[in-house]
Structure 1
Amino acid sequence: MMAKQMLQIENLDSSALLKLFDGLNKRFDELAPAVPNDPDTYMTRQEVADLFKISLPTVHAWMNTGILKYYKIANKTRFLRGEVLAAVTAIKQKGGSHE
């Protein structure tokens, strides 16, 4: 368990603090791994769930109802990124939600 720490900043105006946060945000963006946009990239069930902030049971339900086309590769379930994005776009156009 991490110990809580308190940081108190004095003699720093709001614009200087905002500049510090902007610098941190830029650095975090540089360090963050890039999400592949290649439509032929295979995704795991967890990656699909994380991408759309849904649960694994929802991914499974979308598989069973045919919303998501999936592939079995060496006993593992995989999805093509392009097909996942197309399926969700189709759901949004219909105005529905399958969660």
Structure 2
Amino acid sequence: PATTLNELVKVVEDAGWKVTFKANWWTADIPYGLIRIDLQKDGREKILLGKWILGEKCELIRIESLDLERGKDEFFRMVDSITSTLIHDPVIRTMREQY
């Protein structure tokens, strides 16, 4: 998971975006997870969401570039779709309040 996140961060930084937040979420119950990267460039802000599969190599199965508000909503919808137990995670609860 960390390799996949770092590879995606490198791509967006190489494209000139400043990473303001990055995180990776998954659960041991299923072999996939989510990446969230908040970005800024030229006065614009957006969120990049990636879904990945755990395997022998880094594999992103979907990447979405969304405006900030829609990205926040979609991120939490995606987290909820992985498993309802993640929402009880204090880090996720804190993020909901802060973002």
TM-score range, shorter chain: under 0.3
Greater helix share, structure number: 1
Greater strand share, structure number: 2
Which structure is richer in relative contact order (CA contacts within 8 A, separation 6 or more)?
1
TM-score with structure 2 setting the length: 0.26
Q: Looking at CA atoms only, which structure, 1 or 2, has the larger radius of gyration?
A: 1
